[in-house]
Amino acid sequence: MIFYPFVRLHPWSLTLRSILIMKLIVLISLLTAMQLFAEGNAQTINLTAKHVTLNQVMRDLQKQSGVNFFLNGKSLAQTRLSVNIQHAKLEDALNAIVAPLDLEWIKKR
């Protein structure tokens, strides 16, 4: 009896192996970069302030997060408040800051 294989196995040429390895390296590099970016955006905020202006609170938040903030109006910037935020995400920290003032915040790129 003679058996014939259904699939012929061709050895991979050096060029095809090199291209495959390069594609895998690029994929792994992109996945690593995305993970590092996600970790950087998920940083925690620790902020304690008593009877300080909203402007000062936002400056402290800007120093910790590296995100720029803009306030509309001098009277709003001079509003005094007290906050105690520990191990919170940036969005949660912003919600805790503006909630007692009945304000909203908007994220723009």
Question: Which structural domain range is residue 17 located in?
Answer: 13-42
For the question of whether the overall pTM of this predicted structure is more than 0.85, the answer is: no
- Shared domain for 34 and 74, answered yes or no, is no
- Count of structural domains, the chain: 2
Whether 109 is in a domain gets the answer no
**Rounded-to-integer distance, Cα 45 and Cα 85, Å:** 7
Supply angle C-alpha 56, 61, 67, rounded to 5.
120
Q: What is the per-residue pLDDT across 50-100, written as a single tens digit (0 to 9) for each?
A: 999 999 999 999 998 888 888 888 888 888 999 999 999 888 999 999 988
Give residue 5's pLDDT band: very low, low, confident or very high (50, 70, 90). Answer: low
- Shared domain for 24 and 67, answered yes or no, is no
Of 80, 105, 79, 76, the residue nearest 93 (C-alpha): 105
Helix, strand, coil % over all residues of the chain, rounded to 5? 50, 15, 35
